[in-house]
Structure 1
Amino acid sequence: MTIDEQPAPPYAIPVEVPVGKTPPVFKDTLQIGIVVRDLDRTMRTYIDDYGIGPWTVYDFNDETVDEMMVDGEPRGYSMRLAVAMVGKLQWELIEPTSGDTIYSRFLAEHGEGVQHIALDVENYQDTVARLSALGRTSTQSGRMGGVTYSYFSTEKDLKVAIELYSRPLN
């Protein structure tokens, strides 16, 4: 029996929340981004204790990423990151290695943990414009291999930062 087929428990209170006329902004959840202090140690825990892997590791720095921006200003930074699929969802572990970034700030303010969720959108440019109209700014971005990634300041309303890609990653 799947979770959708299970009857509602007696303590569940069904409430119909009407959906507004605003069309959905996001199509799918692509990734959960977790900031860590030690990428190698964390990957080892995921592999040894939970069987999560294999991991692909990337170095993001000024030699591999173009158009690096933080808070709307050109700024270099570096990080090591690793990605693995858990079902249909990509898990990303991020270890900031230099620069004042959203990752290093997250570690200083919250410690290790979920920092962002990456979401798929119908049209990247239209969604960026829509988020800007809502007052959500790009906090960090870059361009790698022809793909632009951008994080947005949605923590106050969505309770987590979101990341968008200029096109879906394969």
Structure 2
Amino acid sequence: MTGFGPVTQLAWVTDDLDATEQVLGATLGATGWTRMPEIHFGPESCTFRDRPADFTADISLSYAGDLQLELIRPVTGASLYAEFLAERGPGLHHVCCEVPDLDTAVEQARGTGLRVVQEGTMADGLMRFAYLDTSAAGASYVELAQVAPDLRALFADVRERAQGS
């Protein structure tokens, strides 16, 4: 395995978006957060631990330079985020690598013994994702994401807002 590409995002799971935004603003200079409340992940498009998943989460995005910062607050349902918060409390949850072909990247990961613990689509199919369990390396998760151009344009708008504030 040669790796999946550059890290494009750091993500935290939190029970308090306001406090986490403030801390990351003070420490990483992240401002101009864009909030997306109650994003729904349904069983037709998402699995958690090999079972259909049905959950919602509040998401907040900003940037530190070109690095996207994501905050996730579980709202309802069983998910990797709710599990993490219940077991470990708030904290750094995953790093994300964008990949050109998610199926190939997941096959590559499974070939090295890494297990997918949550996967699916969001934003009406504009992003496909898979979370790899990397706990054997002392880290939580690595997310692999295949992002469509329309969603990449939204991320560019979020970055512009964050850097313009």
Q: Is the 8 A contact 1:27 1:122 kept in 2?
A: no
Could you say which structure has the larger radius of gyration?
Answer: 1
| Equivalences, count | 146
Q: Structure 1, residues 14-40: CA drift from partner, whole Å, max 9, x if none?
A: xxxxxxxx5x22221110010111113
Structure 2 gap segments, 5+ residues each? 153-165
Q: Higher helix proportion, which one?
A: 2
Misfit runs of 4+, over 6 Å:
none
Partner of 2:11: 33
CA distance in 2, matches of 1:62, 1:127: 22
Letter of the structure 1 residue corresponding to residue 57 of structure 2: M
Q: Is the 8 A contact 1:125 1:166 kept in 2?
A: no
| Secondary structure at 2:45 match in 1 | strand
Partner of 2:131: 151
The answer on 1:167 being equivalent to 2:143 is no
Partner of 2:93: 115
Deviation at 1:141, TM superposition (A): 2.0
Q: Is the 8 A contact 2:56 2:77 kept in 1?
A: yes
Q: CA RMSD in A?
A: 2.2
Partner of 1:126: 104
Deviation at 1:143, TM superposition (A): 1.1
CA distance in 2, matches of 1:39, 1:114: 13
Partner of 1:60: 39
Letter of the structure 1 residue corresponding to residue 17 of structure 2: L
> Which TM-score applies when normalising by structure 1?
0.75
Deviation at 1:139, TM superposition (A): 1.1
Partner of 1:5: none
CA distance in 2, matches of 1:107, 1:62: 18
Percent of counterpart pairs with the same letter?
A: 27
> Which TM-score applies when normalising by structure 2?
0.78
Pick the aligned partner of 2:74 from 76, 96, 111: 96
CA distance in 2, matches of 1:42, 1:52: 11
